[in-house]
Amino acid sequence: MSLLFHISLYIYLLRNRKDILSSNKNILFHRLRLANQLTIYRISSTPTLCYLCIIVVNQQQFVALLILFTLASVLTDFLDGIISRTFHQTSLLGSRLDSMADYLFLISLTSTYWYLKLLPTYFITLIAIRYFFQALVSVFLRIKKKIYATGATKLGKTTMFCLMIFLWSRLLQFLPRTYESFSAVIGWSELLIAALIISSFIERIFLLFHDLRAHSSPAKMDLR
């Protein structure tokens, strides 16, 4: 399965190699830049991170490895954006890869938590409804109406950022003593993020009606 995943990733990169184009100077990079490499690492390591979550439940000797992969995932998530902006390595492919990494992490880790029963059903349901609705709206507007949905909003970005941090923090459950110290904070964080998800879902519904009214002047933007 891992081999098939990485072959698919390689084929995607090969087919989209012409999009390694600087978004600032329209210069075609002849190879993947450091920011892209970090993002690809994040994509590549996500299945391994989820697998480690599953085996750590019964084999505690892999906890250190899980922590190492988690820290690497967190660091690469922050560093790829900083490096791309600082060294002018932003590109169309880089933007796509970053979104792919975020949503792959979100879907994979949420599914893993659901399998291990580490998150309440209501919370997982909220995540599924919120982002399935977003994907459905995007496809509907693009195919049926030939327009692009309104892009990322501040609320949408904030919700995604907080949700990613929350999912990372839930990995502390594999360190019982540490988790006990932060359990109250994590519990309140869960309620706060649930409220953010509901708010961003309502906002996305309003934006859907806005896009349908303003479809005469579409603007192509990435969803987040």
Residue with tokens 């209501």: 122
- Among 53-62, 89-98, 118-127, 138-147, which range has the highest average pLDDT? 118-127
| Residue 126 binned pLDDT confidence (cut-offs 50, 70, 90) | very high
Buried b (16+ CB within 10 A) or exposed e, 117-139: ebbeeebbebbeebbeebeebee
Q: Is the pLDDT of residue 199 over 90?
A: yes
Q: Is the pLDDT of residue 195 over 90?
A: yes
Q: Which own/partner pairs from 28-33 qualify as long-range (CB within 8 Å, at least 24 positions apart)? A: 29/89, 29/91, 33/84, 33/87, 33/89, 33/91, 33/94
Q: Is the pLDDT of residue 25 over 60?
A: no
Q: Return the pLDDT at 218.
A: 46
Q: Is the pLDDT of residue 76 over 60?
A: yes
Q: Return the pLDDT at 151.
A: 67
Average pLDDT over every residue of 22-49: 74
Dihedral, CA of residue 184, residue 193, residue 160 and residue 158, to nearest 10: -100
- Among 24-33, 156-165, 193-202, which range has the highest average pLDDT? 193-202
Average pLDDT over every residue of 81-94: 79
Q: Return the pLDDT at 69.
A: 86
| Residue 197 binned pLDDT confidence (cut-offs 50, 70, 90) | very high
Residue with tokens 């978004």: 23
Alpha helices (H) along 16-153:
34-56, 63-86, 92-116, 121-143
Q: Is the pLDDT of residue 70 over 50?
A: yes
Residue with tokens 């697998």: 51
Q: Is the pLDDT of residue 220 over 90?
A: no
Q: Is the pLDDT of residue 88 over 80?
A: no
Q: Tell me if 27 sits within 8 A of 91, measured CB to CB.
A: no
Average pLDDT over every residue of 56-72: 86
Rounded to whole angstroms, how far apart are CA atoms 194 and 186? 12
Rounded to whole angstroms, how far apart are CA atoms 177 and 63? 13
Q: Is the pLDDT of residue 185 over 70?
A: yes
Q: Return the pLDDT at 159.
A: 92
Residue 133 three-state SS: helix
Q: Return the pLDDT at 13.
A: 79
Rounded to whole angstroms, how far apart are CA atoms 34 and 37? 5
pTM of the predicted structure, to 2 decimals = 0.78
